[in-house]
Amino acid sequence: MTTYLWTPPAVQSLPVRGKTERLPINRLFFVGRNYHAHAVEMGKPVDKTVERPFYFTKAPQTLVESGATVAYPPETSNYHFEMEMVVAIGAPAFRVSQADAQRAIYGYAAGLDMTRRDLQLVARDKGRPWDLGKDVEQSSVCSEIVPMEGQIIDKGAIALEVNSVTKQSSNVDKLIWNVREIIADLSLFYHLQPGDLIYTGTPEGVGAVVAGDKITGRVEGVAEVALNVGPAQ
Ligand code: MN
């Protein structure tokens, strides 16, 4: 039996609707600029005819369950919400076709890709990695996983409110690269594994939060997600 110097960190996991077993998390992938109106508000419009999707990752340790209260993070004064539909991978996938992509799907969730926007934009404009802007502790918020094995979601309202005021309201049918295209493309680079989550990108309307804000969001037909922003540490 392997022994360790100290107790290893716990496996990250999420509740699964209708099950007592939790879904163990492997990796967290995020699609950048996957709704036109958001790409435009970021000043970086996307031309799908000449571009491919791009991705960034966050450590699984950044995962936070819906309903949590998290401290306003350090070293930012522009902490942003991004409402996203999340795909949970349930079967290995490497170089899968778009036609076969649904075989990799275990289910879906509603998520938040919380972002230090000030640091992300500095990194972007200086050609530096996005980690300090994106790989923020407690920034990958996720609802329960809703089992929908083999199903493709290609439409449905996606919306977010801060303190009950609507900030983001769009539809998953506006994804630039849809679920099939994302899984097929990402599987060219990675051997996707059960427990990988793919945050599929945010629609327009992103904005800053302050301590005391209550964020609520939903993906129609999937789930709701919530986050409370606490004071800075
Ligand atoms: Mn995002």
| Structural domains in the chain, sorted by start | 22-230 (3.90.850.10)
**Whole-number pLDDT of residue 164:** 98
Cα 132 to ligand 1 centre (Å): 14
| CA of residue 83 to ligand 1 center, whole Å | 7
Return the percentage of the chain with pLDDT > 90, whole number. 100
Average pLDDT, the chain: 97
Q: Span 189-195, mean pLDDT?
A: 98
Does the structure show a pLDDT above 90 at 37? yes
Surrounding ion ligand 1 within 5 Å at CB are 82, 113, 202
Ligand 1 centre from 219 Cα, in Å? 15
Q: How far is the CA of 16 from the centre of ligand 1 (A)?
A: 23
For the cut 90, the answer to whether the pLDDT of residue 128 exceeds it is yes
Ligand 1 centroid distance, CA of 195 (Å)? 19
pLDDT band at 1 (very low <50, low <70, confident <90, very high): confident
Q: 140-152, pLDDT tens digit by residue? A: 999 999 999 999 9
CB 39 within 8 A of CB 33: yes
Rounded average pLDDT over 12-21: 98
State the distance from the centre of ligand 1 to the C-alpha of 3, rounded, in angstroms.
Answer: 38
Give the Cα separation of 179 and 98 in Å (integer). 9
Q: How is the chain classified by DSSP, letter by letter?
A: ----SSPPPPPPEE-BTT-SSPEEP--EEEESS-BHHHHHHTT----TTT----EEEE-GGGEEETT-EEEPPTT-S-EEE-EEEEEEE-S-BSS--TTTGGGGEEEEEEEEE-EEHHHHHHHHHHT--SHHHHS-TT-EEE--BEE-TTPPP---EEEEEETTEEEEEEEGGGBSS-HHHHHHHHHHHS-B-TT-EEE----S--EE--TT-EEEEEETTTEEEEEEEE---
Q: Give mean pLDDT, residues 54-82.
A: 98
pLDDT digit string, tens, across residues 61-70: 999 999 999 9
Statement: residue 55 has pLDDT above 90: yes
The confidence score (pLDDT) of residue 46 equals 95
For residue 82, how far is its CA from the centre of ligand 1 (angstroms)? 6
User: What is the reported pTM?
Assistant: 0.98
Binning pLDDT at 50, 70 and 90, where does residue 59 land? very high
Distance 54 CA to ligand 1 centre (A): 11
Mean pLDDT, rounded, for 16-20: 98
Q: Ligand 1 centroid vs 233 CA: distance in angstroms?
A: 24
Distance in Å, CA 102 to ligand 1 centroid:
22
Task: Read off the pLDDT of each residue in 21-44 and give the average, rounded to a whole number.
Answer: 96
* 6 CA to centre of ligand 1 in angstroms: 34
What was the pLDDT predicted at 72?
Answer: 98
